Amino acid sequence: DWNPGNVVAEQVERIRAQVGDARVICGLSGGVDSSVAAALVQRAVGDQLTCVFVDHGLLRQGEAEQVEKDFVDATGVQLKVVDARERFLHALAGVSDPETKRKIIGREFIRVFEDAAREVVEDAGAHGETVRFLVQGTLYPDVVESGGGEGAANIKSHHNVGGLPDDLQFELVEPLRTLFKDEVRAVGLELGVPEVIVWRQPFPGPGLGIRIVGEVTAERLETLRAADAIAREELTRAGLDREIWQCPVVLLGDVRSVGVQGDGRTYGHPVVLRPVSSEDAMTADWTRLPYDVLATISTRITNEVPEVNRVVLDVTSKPPGTIEWE
Ligand code: XMP
């Protein structure tokens, strides 16, 4: 019978056998897969593992803290945090094209991660140790998609490490390779990974960077983060989290419309609510959210986020609309 306790026990043995007393590094993104993979490896080899978290400043409200504090408290992992917020903002300045933004975010992410990895390697070297292994949260569906085969690690998003330079070649530790998503969540709960992480809905690697239509700026990020936090809070309060696949909140940074707020006329930005139901994100339908929940979200956002004076609902299925707006 499948049960998460057995998976943990089995994987802990396998990881110990593979890793021996070498050092291991893992990139944490705040998502389910990398978190559970890291927690498993931590359970197996403790402080031989160092996790690296690159804060690119494109996460939603509270998510960096969930990694830096809640995850660390719950699992005891050694964490190296890189605050790269300014660097990403600088690299994204003046850029509006979605694919260019993705490329920039992916490129910067790899550079920052490489630098951090190099520091971890040098640090270990100073103590006469070698970092030989890199943890990846590859799941069974990723293995199938990439044609299977040991070592056929599928680099699936900007959060995973692509072509590392020659002086940073690691062997892979992939403790989730046989698991489906729901099994990964069960294993995560078994390991005490915080529920907000275990049940996190899909969130794109480029984060809020592709949820601001137009240029990404610090002010726009702050606006979107505030609106998104309200939408998530109300959806959670209404008990809808597990019915919805994900609900991007999108800031139309280059659009302004006239409104009346407080004392007078405003010329603010709209945000779009994009609640979708899906099985695998390949196709999706827009979720028929209760009107009263929509009304609460709209009222709160326009009251509490002064830069936003209009909340609109996306009622397009996929296809033809993608889930994200960029
Ligand atoms: P679309 O917008 O293509 O999204 O319907 C399908 C799923 O993929 C996520 N998504 C991304 N994830 N990097 C990622 O890691 C990306 O560049 C990216 N673009 C979209 C999206 O959130 C949805 O779950």
The residue ranges of every structural domain in the chain are 4-198, 211-313
> Which residues approach ligand 1 with their CB closer than 6 A?
102, 157-158, 202, 204-206, 246, 281, 318, 322-324
What is the ipTM metric for this complex?
A: 0.99
Measured in Å, residue 130 CA sits from the centre of ligand 1 at: 35
The whole-number pLDDT of residue 1 equals 83
User: What are 67-106's pLDDT values in tens digits?
Assistant: 999 999 999 999 999 999 999 999 999 999 999 999 999 9
32 is in an annotated binding site: yes
pTM summary value: 0.92
CA-to-CA dists, residue 187 to 5, 7, 111, 170, 190, angstroms: 7, 7, 31, 25, 5
Q: Does the annotation place 163 within a ligand binding site? A: no
Dist CA 104 CA 207 (whole Å):
13
Instruction: Specify the ligand 1 atom closest to the Cα of 202.
Output: 24
Nearest atom within ligand 1 for CA of residue 326? 2
Question: Which spans in the chain are helix H?
Answer: 4-19, 32-45, 63-65, 72-75, 85-92, 98-126, 140-145, 181-190, 195-198, 218-237, 291-304
Kindly give the number of the ligand 1 atom that is closest to the alpha carbon of 245.
24
Percent of the chain at pLDDT exceeding 90: 89
pLDDT of residue 241: 94
Beta bridge partners of 260: 265
Please name the residue whose Cα sits nearest to atom 19 of ligand 1.
204
First-to-last CA distance in the chain?
43
Fold of 4-198: Rossmann fold (3.40.50)
Residue closest by Cα to atom 3 of ligand 1:
322
pLDDT of 156 strictly over 90: no
Which tokens sit at 1? 């019978």
Mode of pairing for the β-strands spanning 249-252 and 285-286: unpaired
The more confidently predicted of residues 159 and 224 is 224
Neighbouring CB atoms inside 10 A of 122's CB total 10
User: What pLDDT shows up at residue 149?
Assistant: 52
The CATH class, in words, for 211-313 is alpha beta
Q: What is the DSSP string of 201-259?
A: PP--TTGGGGSEES---HHHHHHHHHHHHHHHHHHHHTT-TTT-SB--EEEETT--EEE
Angle 181-190/4-19 helices, nearest 10 degrees? Answer: 80
DSSP assignment of 133-157 equals EEE----HHHHHHTT--TT-----S
Taking only the tens place, the pLDDT of each residue in 288-304 is 999 999 999 999 999 99
Asked if pLDDT for residue 150 goes beyond 90, the answer is: no
